[in-house]
């Protein structure tokens, strides 16, 4: 059930009407849990059982950690919880990747692991809800959170439908606190929730989906692109993925806000980042903070000397890349971001003597960092898979990356389709960035409307309605991060 589909519109209107009629927050919790499982079952009902099983395991592990004070016993419960979550994630997501890579490795020897291949379907949202569940057991283990004695409350933490499928990866502590008390929805929350949903839908239907129509054909013929076309394709993808993913997060936050929940901000003007570490404080904040708190810091963080810090950084970013998908291009993307983080740290992590950089210097830093971000997106997007004569598939992303990087061999000029993409980028990206910059100056985000003067708000909404009518993609297209 996509957010940008009529199915979801009817679903949410019905759910919301019933939700508001329920007088007690406990009844609302039970109702939300039921509709969240219904929402998930709309994708594939079989995986509801998988989510139920991991939820029950995590719940009892939490109770176990609460009942036992010995560190060793508590660690066993933590290991059971982490292993069950990462086990299902690893099995469904990485089993095929592992076998394909093993096949490639064994190919020269004539051996094959073909017989071990299974036809597995990736459960939607598994990367998100397993990580979210780990925040619960990890926080209980560290004593930051008391284990809940209410299975339904915990099940709702895992399954809450606005953020179930593609995040934000909320902290169980934060969600649990909101679930276990009455929620108020005032006029301000109602309108800001509606605006966030409208804003997110507009970014998806008008910006992201139209950019996708222009970007995908270019990546499909990466071998014949000119240098200008390659650059524009990556630039277009940078805005496509930002609009697509931030749109989902905005709709999720808006929907949750209408229900009285506050989910964390997932994007904070990432393309205004001035350094690699700044980028990760702005892009997919829920994942980057999860990786920091549950992987990087437990590995030792920056406490074990420079070499260990670099090791921890690389490991965290590689695993973060791998989280996105079972393919080598994601590993390279993670490696790349780990590398630039390490290099940035080596050169002083931007520690400056002056209090605030000048606007010109800041602009230079933003543009410079943006080029590094673009290169990362090139690695991320190149995911070509070749089908061999015997029907097997082979990862060809490396060759695709090389083709794009050496596209200058095909010349430097623009074709009509690339010129069209340039026009679309200028039309979509420039106003969006301008709006974000204005919001940033006021300490706000573009998805909140309170900082805008009313005439500006009316004008912006008119432009959104107009562009939606004329250029909105009429069919519900999936969100990019659903595949993760």
Partner 1 sequence: MRISQIARCLYRMKWYVFCVLGVATLAGEVYLRLPCGRQLEYQPDPDLGGVFRPGQSSSMVTVNRDGHRGKDTDWLRPVLLAVGDSQSWGSGVPDADVWTARLEDFLHEKPDLGAIQVVNASHPGHGPYHQFVRMRRVLEAHKVRAVLVRVSIEDRRFTAPRPEELPRLVAEVEWRQQVRSVTKFLPFVVNKAKEQLPSMAAVFGPKQMQTTAVRSEEAGRKMWEEQSRWWERMIEVAAEHNTSLVFCIHDPTDLPSSAVLAANLAKQIEGRKNVFLLRLGSKAYGLRAGNTDALWREYRSRFTLFHDDHGNQAQHELVARTLFAFFQDKGFFPAGQPSYRPQ
Burial of residue 329 (number of CB atoms within 10 Å: 0-12, 13-18, 19+):
buried
Please give the size of the binding site for partner 1, defined by CB under 8 A: 35
Strand, helix or coil at 387? strand
Query: d(Cα 426, Cα 431) in Å, to the nearest integer?
Result: 8
Interatomic CA distance for residues 36 and 52, integer angstroms: 12
Q: Which of 43, 211, 216, 245 is nearest to 126 (CA)?
A: 43
Specify the stretch interacting with partner 1 by CB under 8 A; choose among 166-174, 205-213, 266-274, 288-296: 205-213
Distance CA 363, CA 272 (A): 9
Among 10, 347, 368, 412, binds partner 1 (CB under 8 A): 10
- Helix 126-141, helix 151-159: angle, nearest 10: 140
Residue 225 exposure: Cα atoms within 13 Å on the Cβ side:
28
217 binds partner 1 per the rule CB under 8 A: yes
- How far is the C-alpha of 170 from the C-alpha of 151, rounded, in Å? 18
Taking the least distance from each CB to partner 1, the nearer of 70 and 184 is 184
**Which residue in the list 119, 284, 324, 337 is annotated as catalytic?**
324
Pick between residue 134 and residue 212 the one whose CB is nearest to partner 1.
212
Sole window of 211-219, 237-245, 273-281, 398-406 interacting with partner 1 (rule: CB under 8 A): 211-219
Instruction: Give the nearer residue to partner 1 in terms of CB position, either 139 or 209.
Output: 209
Residues 159-198 that bind partner 1 (CB under 8 A): 184-187, 190-191
Using CB under 8 A as the binding rule, whether residue 20 contacts partner 1 is answered as: yes
User: Quick check: helix, strand or coil at residue 385?
Assistant: strand
d(CA 219, CA 212): 10
For 390, other C-beta atoms within 10 Å of its C-beta total: 6
| Interface mask toward partner 1 for 462-481; x: CB under 8 A | xx-xx--xx--xxxxx----
Q: Are 89 and 95 in contact (CB under 8 A)?
A: no
Tell me the window of 5-13, 104-112, 337-345, 365-373 that interacts with partner 1 (CB under 8 A): 5-13
Q: Is 458 in the site for partner 1 (CB under 8 A)?
A: yes
> Any residues with CB less than 8 A from the CB of 367 and at least 6 apart, and which?
none
Q: Answer yes or no whether residue 390 interacts with partner 1 by CB under 8 A.
A: no
Whether 117 sits among the annotated catalytic residues: the reply is no
**In this complex, which beta carbon is closest to partner 1, that of residue 6 or of residue 347?**
6
Interatomic CA distance for residues 395 and 76, integer angstroms: 38
Q: Which two tokens stand for residue 284?
A: 């997919």
Among 68, 180, 216, 315, binds partner 1 (CB under 8 A): 216
CA distance 401 to 396: 9
Contact between 461 and partner 1 (CB under 8 A)? yes
Considering the rule CB under 8 A, would residue 419 count as an interface residue with partner 1?
no
Instruction: Please identify, using beta-carbon distances, which residue of 101 and 427 lies nearer to partner 1.
Output: 427
Q: Which is nearer to partner 1, 18 or 405 (CB)?
A: 18
The yes or no reply on residue 235 touching partner 1 (CB under 8 A) is no
The end-to-end CA distance of the chain, in Å, is 16
Looking at the Cβ atoms of 95 and 471, the one nearer to partner 1 is 471
* Interactions with partner 1, residue window 21-40 (CB under 8 A): 21
Choosing from 358, 387, 409, 443, the residue that interacts with partner 1 (CB under 8 A) is: 387
| Residues that are catalytic | 324
| Contacts with partner 1, residue ranges (CB under 8 A) | 5-7, 10, 17, 20-21, 184-187, 190-191, 209, 212-213, 216-217, 387, 454, 457-459, 461-463, 465-466, 469-470, 473-477
């Amino acid at each position: 059930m996509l957010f940008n589909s009529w199915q979801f519109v009817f679903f949410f209107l019905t759910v919301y009407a019933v939700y508001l009629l329920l007088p007690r927050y406990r009844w609302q919790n039970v109702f939300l849990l039921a509709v969240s499982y219904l929402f998930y079952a709309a994708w594939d009902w079989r995986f509801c059982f998988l989510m139920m099983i991991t939820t029950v395991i995590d719940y009892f592990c939490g109770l176990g950690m609460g009942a036992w004070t010995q560190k060793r016993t508590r660690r066993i419960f933590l290991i059971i919880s982490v292993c069950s979550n990462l086990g299902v994630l690893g099995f469904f997501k990485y089993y095929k990747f592992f076998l394909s890579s093993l096949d490639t490795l064994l190919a020269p020897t004539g051996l094959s692991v073909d017989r071990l291949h299974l036809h597995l379907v990736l459960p939607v949202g598994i990367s998100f809800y397993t990580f979210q569940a780990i925040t619960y057991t990890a926080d209980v283990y560290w004593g930051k959170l008391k284990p809940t004695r209410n299975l339904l409350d915990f099940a709702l933490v895992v399954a809450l439908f606005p953020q179930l499928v593609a995040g934000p990866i909320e902290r169980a502590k934060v969600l649990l606190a909101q679930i276990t008390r009455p929620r108020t929805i005032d006029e301000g929350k109602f309108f800001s929730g509606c605006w966030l949903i409208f804003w997110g839908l507009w970014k998806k239907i008008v910006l992201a989906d139209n950019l996708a129509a222009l970007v995908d054909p270019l990546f499909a013929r990466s071998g014949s692109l000119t240098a200008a076309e390659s650059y524009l394709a990556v630039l277009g993808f940078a805005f496509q993925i930002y609009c697509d993913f931030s749109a989902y997060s905005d709709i999720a936050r808006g929907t949750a806000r209408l229900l009285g929940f506050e989910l964390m901000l997932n994007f904070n003007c990432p393309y205004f980042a001035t350094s690699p570490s700044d980028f990760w404080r702005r892009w997919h904040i829920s994942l980057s903070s999860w990786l920091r708190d549950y992987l990087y810091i437990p590995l030792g963080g920056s406490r074990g000397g420079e070499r260990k810090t670099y090791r921890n950084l690389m490991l965290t970013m590689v695993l973060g890349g791998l989280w996105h998908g079972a393919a080598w291009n994601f590993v390279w993307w993670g490696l790349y971001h780990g590398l630039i983080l390490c290099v940035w740290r080596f050169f002083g992590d931007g520690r400056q003597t002056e209090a605030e950089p000048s606007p010109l210097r800041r602009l230079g830093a933003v543009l410079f960092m943006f080029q590094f971000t673009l290169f990362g997106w090139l690695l991320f997007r190149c995911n070509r898979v070749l089908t061999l004569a015997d029907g097997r598939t082979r990862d060809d992303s490396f060759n695709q990356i090389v083709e794009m990087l050496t596209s200058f061999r095909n010349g430097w000029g623009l074709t009509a389709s690339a010129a069209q993409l340039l026009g679309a980028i200028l039309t979509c990206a420039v106003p969006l960035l301008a709006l974000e910059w204005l919001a940033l100056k006021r300490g706000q985000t573009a998805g909140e409307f309170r900082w805008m003067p009313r005439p500006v708000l009316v004008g912006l909404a008119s432009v959104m309605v107009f562009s939606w009518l004329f250029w909105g993609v009429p069919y519900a297209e999936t969100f990019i991060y659903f595949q993760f």
